[in-house]
Structure formats: C-alpha cells, structure tokens
C-alpha cells in the first residue's frame, strides 16, 4: 500500500469472513490496530462504547450490506448519537447514486469492493492524517 506506516485503531464492520480477513491483513500491514465486527448493530455498539471510554476509533470502515443493521442504518444511528469520527463506506455498488446514498447516510467517504489497494491506502492516509475532516453529526430534533 504505502511506504509509511500508519497509526491508529480502525473499526472494520464487514460481514464476509473472507473480506474481513483480507481487510484486517491490509490494515495491520500498515501498522493499524483493527477491531472487526460482523454486523451493523455490533458496529454501532463498538463505536459508541469506545467513544464513551474516551478512546474512539480513528476510522470506521463500514460495509453497507450487513445483517442486523445495514451500513446505511448503522451510520445514520452513529451520526444521530453524535458520533463525529470518520466513517468510510465499503460497498460492491459502484454507481454514482450509490456513492450519494452512502454520503447522505452520513459517511465521509466511499470505497468500492473489491478494494483497489492504491485507493484504499489513499483514503486511509487522508482520513487518519486528518486531511479530510469528518462530517458534523446531523441535528436531532
């Protein structure tokens, strides 16, 4: 991916065991700590628990098609709960309207699967370095 090693902790929400293994490997190879969950409900719970413990994830990679809560619902739930960390959508859907739907749900960025290593690395670097700032949570009321 990149020559420089990254630092931080990533929540990987991915229900496919094969994708979870591959993405975990790629993230760890970059020097990142990874916590993986296999559904949207667990993703919401893990992200909010880490935030409450004052050690939030540096990045959430969110598969958009998962059981319990899909990635759209999980992202919206996190944003409604005031979660401000970066969330990057992972989806096999590559049409522009799919990207728009991910961003409308509250994702800060969008990657297609299978991941293109160069694009994956670039998005990690941009978000983990704080070059791209996360969205503000939506007003609830």
User: SS3 string of the chain?
Assistant: CCCCCCCCEEEEECCCHHHHHHHHHHHHHCCCEEEEECCHHHHHHHHHHHHHCCCCCCEEEEECCCCCCCHHHHHHHHHHCCCCCCEEEEECCCCHHHHHHHHHHCCCEEEECCCCHHHHHHHHHHHHCCCCCCCCCCCCC
Q: How many domains does the chain have?
A: 1
Asked if residue 133 has pLDDT above 80, the reply is no
Question: Would you say residue 4 lies in a domain?
Answer: no
Question: Would you say residue 52 lies in a domain?
Answer: yes
Q: What integer is the mean pLDDT of 96-120?
A: 88
Pick from 1-10, 31-40, 109-118: least confident: 1-10
Q: What integer is the mean pLDDT of 108-112?
A: 91
Question: Would you say residue 78 lies in a domain?
Answer: yes
| Confidence band of 140 (pLDDT split at 50, 70, 90) | very low
Residue-range definition of the domain harbouring residue 73: 9-128
Asked if residue 6 has pLDDT above 90, the reply is no
Question: Would you say residue 56 lies in a domain?
Answer: yes
Asked if residue 68 has pLDDT above 60, the reply is yes
Which pTM does this prediction carry?
0.87
Q: What integer is the mean pLDDT of 75-91?
A: 94
Question: Would you say residue 3 lies in a domain?
Answer: no
Q: What integer is the mean pLDDT of 59-78?
A: 94
Question: Would you say residue 139 lies in a domain?
Answer: no
Asked if residue 104 has pLDDT above 60, the reply is yes
Question: Would you say residue 69 lies in a domain?
Answer: yes
Q: CATH number, domain at 26?
A: 3.40.50.2300
Question: Would you say residue 89 lies in a domain?
Answer: yes
């Amino acid at each position: 991916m990149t020559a420089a090693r990254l630092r931080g902790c990533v929540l990987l929400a991915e229900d496919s065991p094969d994708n979870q293994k591959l993405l975990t490997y790629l993230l760890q190879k970059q020097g990142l700590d990874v916590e993986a969950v296999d559904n949207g409900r667990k993703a919401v719970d893990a992200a909010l628990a880490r935030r409450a413990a004052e050690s939030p994830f540096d990045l959430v990679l969110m598969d958009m098609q998962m059981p319990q809560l899909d990635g759209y619902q999980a992202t919206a739930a996190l944003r409604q709960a005031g979660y401000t960390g970066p969330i990057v959508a992972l989806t096999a859907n590559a049409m522009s309207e799919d990207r728009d739907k991910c961003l409308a749900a509250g994702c800060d960025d969008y990657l297609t699967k299978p991941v293109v290593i160069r694009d994956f690395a670039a998005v990690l670097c941009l978000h983990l370095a704080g070059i791209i700032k996360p969205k503000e949570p939506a007003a609830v009321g």
